[in-house]
């Protein structure tokens, strides 16, 4: 599917060639109460989408099981991934829609995402991997939730996604080398994180780490690292999960009851997320778009910290550590 890339000027972010067409035709208008979830790929985006939507829509939380997450928190630049003549036929997929026409309306045809965004009631929760510098200037006044993640874990997850759902034919070494040199979609990673880290003290910005979210929702032996600016748990027990939800709720202007907080916690668990994901197991497969790949792996992966230790060898770790230090 990926054939050409372009770089933004002057920042050098890498996008598909369709991005320039998207920018030319984009008619999206931010609203004052929009909520943006901004991440580099595979940094806890889906998790944060579900948490945020459930908090914002706590009185209609049962809708989290009626409508897919992409429908409730749309992917702003989806059209950047869709060729102007549309995606290949989706009729072979087991898709969570009543009709193929309904799927075409949202997935296959170019130019459908902005009308979908415009149809949503306020406040809208919107997902994007674009950095703030490539978003409409009005977004800087909206509530922005940014999530960062250890590049080792996000890189492994990104490679798995790119290798499985797309046409990347290189090795993990190739992928690491390209990522280090900023040749990855929505990259360079370091620039993406730094741009939003520098905004962390603005009152409308909430800077989170995947590690804090992960340790809140999984019982483990390690402790999450401390950070003065992220909602970081000091231990992996459930009480911290509750505290994190409450903090995020306060940022979003919501005062949740104990029962509501528990409902959000349950709805955003990894197990529940896997059940609801439209691109996991038998619910949604991209195999016929890229027949050479085994797409049995879930879009929602382990959701844990430190999985890179089971994948990367010493040379790869040393190379990434050097990149992180620089």
| Sequence ranges of the domains in the chain | 5-217+236-325
CA distance 67 to 64: 6
Q: Which of 22-26, 247-251, 261-265 has the lowest mean pLDDT?
A: 22-26
pLDDT tens digits, one per residue of 3-52: 578 898 888 999 888 888 888 888 999 999 999 999 998 888 988 999 99
pLDDT of the residue at 307:
78
pLDDT of the residue at 311:
87
Asked if omega into 127 is within 30° of 0 (cis), the reply is: no
Instruction: Give the mean pLDDT of 87-109.
Output: 55
What band does 283 get if pLDDT is binned at 50, 70 and 90?
very low
What band does 197 get if pLDDT is binned at 50, 70 and 90?
very high
- Name, of 14-18, 109-113, 164-168, the range with top average pLDDT: 14-18
pLDDT score of 291 more than 60: no
What's the N-to-C CA distance of the chain in angstroms? 33
pLDDT of the residue at 102:
62
pLDDT of the residue at 95:
46
Burial 287-308 (b: 16+ CB within 10 A, else e): eebbeebebeeebbbebbbebb
**Which pTM was predicted?**
0.80
DSSP 67-108: S-HHHHS-BTTGGGGS-TT-PSP-TTS--SSSSHHHHIIIII
Task: Give domain 5-217+236-325's CATH superfamily.
Answer: P-loop containing nucleotide triphosphate hydrolases (3.40.50.300)
CA distance 133 to 110: 24
Report which of residues 323 and 301 the model is more confident about.
323
Asked if omega into 10 is within 30° of 0 (cis), the reply is: yes
Q: Which of 54-58, 83-87, 117-121 has the lowest mean pLDDT?
A: 83-87
């Amino acid at each position: 599917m990926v054939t050409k890339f372009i770089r933004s000027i002057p920042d050098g972010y890498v996008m598909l060639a369709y991005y320039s067409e998207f920018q030319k035709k984009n008619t999206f208008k931010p609203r004052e109460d929009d909520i943006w979830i901004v991440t580099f790929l595979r940094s806890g985006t889906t998790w944060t989408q579900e948490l945020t939507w459930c908090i914002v829509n706590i009185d209609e939380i049962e809708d989290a099981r009626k409508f897919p997450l992409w429908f409730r928190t749309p992917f702003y630049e989806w059209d950047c991934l869709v060729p102007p003549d549309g995606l290949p036929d989706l009729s072979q997929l087991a898709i969570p829609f009543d009709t193929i026409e309904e799927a075409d309306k949202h997935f296959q045809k170019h130019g459908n995402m902005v009308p979908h965004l415009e149809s949503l009631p306020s406040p809208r929760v919107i997902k994007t991997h674009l950095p703030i510098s490539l978003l409409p200037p009005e977004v800087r006044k909206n509530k922005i939730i940014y999530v960062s993640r250890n590049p080792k874990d996000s890189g492994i997850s990104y490679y798995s996604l790119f290798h499985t759902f797309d046409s990347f034919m290189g090795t993990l070494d190739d992928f690491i080398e390209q990522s280090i040199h900023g040749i990855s979609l929505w990259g360079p990673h370091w620039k993406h994180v730094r741009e939003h880290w520098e905004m962390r003290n603005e009152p409308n910005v909430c800077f989170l780490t995947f590690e804090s979210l992960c340790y809140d929702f999984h019982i483990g032996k390690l402790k999450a690292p401390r950070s003065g600016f992220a909602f970081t748990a000091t231990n992996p027990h459930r009480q911290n999960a509750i505290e994190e939800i409450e903090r995020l709720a306060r940022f979003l202007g919501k005062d949740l009851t104990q029962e509501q907080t528990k409902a959000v916690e349950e709805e955003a668990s990894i197990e529940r997320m896997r059940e609801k994901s439209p691109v996991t197991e038998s619910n949604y497969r991209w195999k016929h778009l890229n027949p050479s790949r085994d797409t049995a792996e879930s879009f929602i992966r382990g959701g844990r910290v430190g999985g890179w230790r089971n994948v990367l060898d010493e040379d790869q770790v040393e190379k990434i550590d050097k990149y992180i230090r620089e």
